[in-house]
Amino acid sequence: MEPDFWHRKWQRNEIAFHEGRPNALLVRHVDRLSLAAGSHVFVPLCGKSADIGWLMARGLRVSGAELSRDAVDQLFADLALEPAITRAGSLTHYRAAGIDIHVGDVFALSADILGRVDAVYDRAALVALPAMMRTRYAGHLTRITAAAAQLLICFEYDPSLMDGPPFSVGEEEVRSLYARDYALSRLDRVPVAGRLKGTVEATESVWLLERREV
């Protein structure tokens, strides 16, 4: 997707993808990541997700990557935090106690900037990208996080019925993107309440990705 697509979405408040509450599958399955207090969770393409505050309330340190500065300003306002804002190359770094958000192109984010990652939570990143970008994204995410354990949430639906985002990403594609570096387990699969965008029947799946030992 072109950056302007997402900037327009946030400027027009066209954010139906924003749940406004912690994701039920995250709440149900986060313990499968076995994270101790103070562990670092990376949330790519995070928007102003309520999941971030929920993770922080569990004593976890959260970082994110987000293209829209509007989204990040709203996130910090929702968290009632005043960030310190600095530049890191082409990225803008928002920092406060327990949280670091990198504003800009996720592909500009490096392992050096991100630091050690204990787990990844991807609810809105992989499914936001068209097929031609998903392979690049999955490889980049694996590299910059050193294949940290991951909770990945995907939608599945008949793509002839709706244009994404969010895009339909099924089991075959998840395995083709990640099976080389991770052992994959689908933990849950549930119907999307009220249909996706109110029109298309869909399911929501949560996957656990655990790094393969070399």
Q: Is 177 within any annotated ligand binding site? A: no
H-helix segments, the chain: 3-11, 24-29, 50-57, 69-78, 111-114, 131-144, 171-178
Q: Is 123 within any annotated ligand binding site? A: yes
Q: Is 66 within any annotated ligand binding site? A: yes
Return the amino acid letter for 208: L
Q: Is 45 within any annotated ligand binding site? A: yes
Residue 42 · residue 11 · CB < 8 Å:
no
Those residues with Cβ within 8 angstroms of residue 55's Cβ, 6 or more apart along the chain or in another chain: 30, 41, 43, 62, 121
Region of 98 (left: φ > 0; alpha: ψ -120 to 50; beta: rest) is left
Binding-site residue numbers for S-adenosyl-L-methionine are 10, 45, 66, 123
- Residues contributing to the annotated binding site: 10, 45, 66, 123
